Amino acid sequence: MWLESPLRMVSPVLKSVELPQVRGRYSENAPLGSVGWFQAGGNAEILFKPADMDDLQFFLSNCPSDIPVTVLGVLSNTIIRDGGVGGVVIRLGRDFAGIQNIEDNLIQVGAAALDVNTAEFAAQSGFTGLEFLCGVPGSIGGALAMNAGAYGGEIKDILVSAQFIDRAGQVHHLTPAELNMSYRHSEIPEGWIATGAVFKAVGRDDPQKIMSHMTDIREKRASTQPIRSKTGGSTFANPKLDELLSCGLPEGTKSWQLVDRVGGRGLQIGGAQMSELHANFMINTGGATAADLENLGDEIRRRVMDDCGLDLHWEIKRIGNKVSE
């Protein structure tokens, strides 16, 4: 249920603590896993949805520093472990989802804006270079955190600056260079929350032509990925060149090829399965626990390590507490 603020909690992590009196809302034992893309996993001890930027700043600057704070997006590439997430989980709402053309070919986007909505806004405005976002599941905040990319584009190609707020409530703006962005990697200081970004379009073109390109991306994605299943996008990041060479693997070897190589396509643990359509996608076939999903991913990683000595890196985040067996 929704709880009024201020909120004094008696719980395993928060114990007896009075949270700041905010204008947004707190919710105790709020579902996370069941509303994520995998539809598996536990709850948030406390979920906080700030009313706006000022409300978020107020919360962070007044929340006791020993209270764990986690920020989550639309949970498109996240496994929420079955034991849930302790402390306060922040999810940004409508006030953080705005998209607007601020000048020339610059687009200001809130962290809660969906990647696909950002791509569509750019296309309708006649801006090129953001089309790849229609093939990236999730929201802009998550895309910033992992330098998300697809179909020949990635966030660092279009990012001018990203806005963050630190645990003390202070606002910061960082460039791609300051974030040290590389393939599926972004160095955001610990505890900082992405609240928005400014993107720069590559150029201009006829909106219908751009939309046609996006249609091609969507059709290709639908034909090669299990997008209608309970999935979380690519499970493992593609290996870097030095990793491949050190293991004697050919340049350009993809993660899905390594999953195939060790018999992973279609492999199932409990209700979790590596997709038959795309071997680097994990799906919940129905009734999977978060542990099933994580165990399946770790089994694939173990097999690849045993086979060729390569350490596959998770692209999907795993957050929260495991349930003791």
| Catalytic center residues | 184, 234, 315
Long-range contacts of 213-219 (CB under 8 A, 24+ apart): 213/131, 214/119, 214/120, 214/123, 214/131, 214/134, 217/131, 217/132, 217/134, 217/135, 217/150, 217/151, 218/134, 218/135
Q: Could you please report the per-residue DSSP string of 277-322?
A: S-TTEEEE-SS--HHHHHHHHHHHHHHHHHHH---PPBSSEEES-P
Reduce the secondary structure of 101-170 to three states and give it as a string.
Answer: EEECCEEEEECCCEHHHHHHHHHHCCEECCHHHHHCCCEHHHHHHHCCEECCEEHHHHEEEEEEECCCCC
Question: CA 282, CA 276: separation in Å to the nearest integer?
Answer: 9
Question: CA 175, CA 306: separation in Å to the nearest integer?
Answer: 39
Report the candidate in 105, 173, 109, 107 with the shortest Cα–Cα distance to residue 143. Answer: 109
Strand order in the sheet with 25-31: 2-3, 25-31, 43-49, 85-91, 69-72
Say how many Å lie between the first and final Cα of the chain, rounded: 29
Strand order in the sheet with 281-284: 230-234, 281-284, 272-274, 268-269
Two structure tokens written together for 9: 């909690």
Question: CA 38, CA 34: separation in Å to the nearest integer?
Answer: 8
